Amino acid sequence: MTLNQMKLVLVSTPIGYLGSGKGGGVEVTMCSLIKGLLSLGHQLIVVAPYGSVLPSGCSAAEICLVSGVEQPSWQHQERDAPMLIPPDGLLLKLWEQAIQLGKSADAVLNFSYDWLPLWLTPHVTADLFHLISMGGVSNVMKSLVEDLSKSNNHGRLAFHTYCQAADYCLSKEPVVVGNGFDLGKYEFQPSSGGALGWAGRIAPEKGLEDAVAVASALGERLLVWGVKEDLEYAAVVEENAPAGMIDWRGFLPTDEFQRQIGACRVLLNTPKWNEAYGNVVVEAMACGVPVVAYDRGGPGELVTSGLTGWLVAPDDISEMTAATSRINEIDRRECRVWAEKFASAEEFAQRVEDWISSIIKNKDASIN
Ligand code: UDP
């Protein structure tokens, strides 16, 4: 097998099945990478929780479904919490399969933000690579990533943005691969007269209450898409909002999500944490929707202030309100152009291929 055509095992997150929305942006990232890597001619085996479905047009990928108890997500644990592995844990089951399949593959690509796959890296014959999906939200994870970086495995780690990577004390410059989307699925909508929109998991780190405050200051409705991951938090946000102001749209499949979000005048993005990337920011831009975002984490690298939206000081609701009222100064076509230039599934897959193949080539060269 040549390096141009690799056999790759892609291992999904043990948080939820692909299509559940529980895995957040990781699900969409993984689906667009599957499509992109197939279009580059690679052979793929996807190891994923039972119930997962491959995106349309990806039947050439093999899927290996695994059942077990879902892993608790790191976002909602204390920074110094220990690693938990529930009995009959899905994480262990996924990795039993991945290690076996990885023995006859060129590489195994991990999408989960979990201790086990990182720890396994120097201990198994399978060639493991990790696309880190969050900043340093857990000390256990942070120190493992840093240990791998200091060992001769730095090159096996890749990040979505420089801001995300900066959460870790790395031994060398990070590999940053950005992200990518199947842009054919996102339709450009030229009309700039729509509502205010917000999208993401409904959870404290996403800061929905700030977008509500902006909508409230402007006396407008706010359309909200996403999984209500934290029901208690969602109820508090709703209680504190003017009655009927939040229009809950639920968690929609990409086709419908992009159709609805594309009709918005602006997407408000209000992260309270170091967002690793910010898929919804780019998905909105792919539909022509400009974004007003806090200049914090990934969105600060994705939005070009004055061209594709406005970046404002983190947590500054009045600055965000003022920027939102100037959104018609942004040309919606520039948003789509940015997405095409920097965030297509094809380019993303190419960056991932370059990353993995450069490490494999170097390894082969050092063996010969
Ligand atoms: N999403 C979706 N349907 C919805 C709302 C959101 O499929 O109704 C997806 C959206 O396309 C995005 C993901 O949820 O890819 C959220 O990812 P993001 O990187 O913005 O945040 P994360 O949840 O990973 O922190």
* pLDDT for residue 136 is more than 80: yes
pLDDT surpasses 80 at 120: yes
Structure-token pair, residue 19: 């299509």
pLDDT at position 184, please? Answer: 95
The CA distance from 120 to 225, in Å, is 37
**Sign of the torsion angle spanned by Cα atoms 20, 21, 26, 31:** positive
Do the domains at 7-180+344-361 and 183-342 have one common CATH topology? Answer: yes
Mean pLDDT of 344-366: 90
What pLDDT does residue 368 have?
Answer: 42
Ligand 1 binding pocket includes 297 (Cβ within 6 Å)? no
Q: Is residue 46 pLDDT above 60, yes or no? A: yes
| pLDDT confidence of residue 107 | 98
**List of residues 6+ apart from 192 with CB closer than 8 A:** 265, 327, 328, 332
Residues of the chain above pLDDT 70, percent: 98
Strands 157-159 and 175-176, how do they pair?
Answer: parallel
Please give the helix or strand (H or E) that residue 30 lies within, else none. helix 25-39
pLDDT(188) > 60: yes
pLDDT in tens, 190-237: 998 999 999 999 999 999 999 999 999 999 999 999 999 999 999 999
pLDDT exceeds cutoff 80 at 115: yes
The pLDDT of residue 363 is 79
- Tens of pLDDT along 306-318? 999 999 999 999 9
pLDDT digits (tens, 9 = 90+) for 52-104: 999 888 999 999 999 999 998 888 889 999 989 899 999 999 999 999 999 99
Going by alpha carbons, the residue nearest to atom 16 of ligand 1 is 25
Q: What is the pLDDT of residue 195?
A: 98
DSSP 1: -
Instruction: Please state which CATH number belongs to domain 183-342.
Output: 3.40.50.2000
Pocket mutation for ligand 1, best pick of 31, 132, 182, 279 (most atoms within 8 Å of C-beta)? 279
What is the rounded CA–CA span in Å between residue 298 and residue 282?
11
Q: How far is CA 367 from CA 55, 223, 361, 363, 364, in A?
A: 38, 56, 10, 6, 5
pLDDT value of position 75 = 82
Return the pLDDT at 362.
Answer: 82
CB 257 near ligand 1, within 6 Å: yes
Question: What CATH number belongs to 7-180+344-361?
Answer: 3.40.50.2000
Nearest protein Cα to ligand 1, atom 24 = 25
Say if residues 241 and 272 touch (Cβ distance below 8 Å).
Answer: no
Residues 6+ apart with CB under 8 A from 13: 23, 26, 27, 71, 111, 112, 113, 114, 133
Confidence of residue 4 (pLDDT cuts 50, 70, 90): confident
Q: Return the SS3 of 326.
A: coil
Cβ 28 under 6 angstroms from ligand 1: yes
- State if residue 154 touches ligand 1 by the CB under 6 angstroms criterion: no
- What pLDDT, on the 0 to 100 scale, is given for residue 361? 87
Q: What is the pTM of this model?
A: 0.95
Q: Is the CB of 89 under 6 A from ligand 1?
A: no
| Per-residue tokens: 134 | 């969050």
pLDDT band with cut points at 50, 70 and 90 for residue 365 = low
Q: Where are the domains of the chain?
A: 7-180+344-361, 183-342
Ligand 1 centroid distance, CA of 200 (Å):
5
- Average pLDDT rounded to a whole number, residues 331-336: 98
**In 3D, which of 291, 275, 254 has the Cα closest to residue 206?**
275
Half-sphere exposure of 180 (CA within 13 A, CB side): 24
Which strand (E) or helix (H) includes residue 293? strand 291-294
pLDDT-derived band at 2, boundaries 50, 70, 90 = very low
The residue nearest atom 1 of ligand 1, judged by CA position, is 226
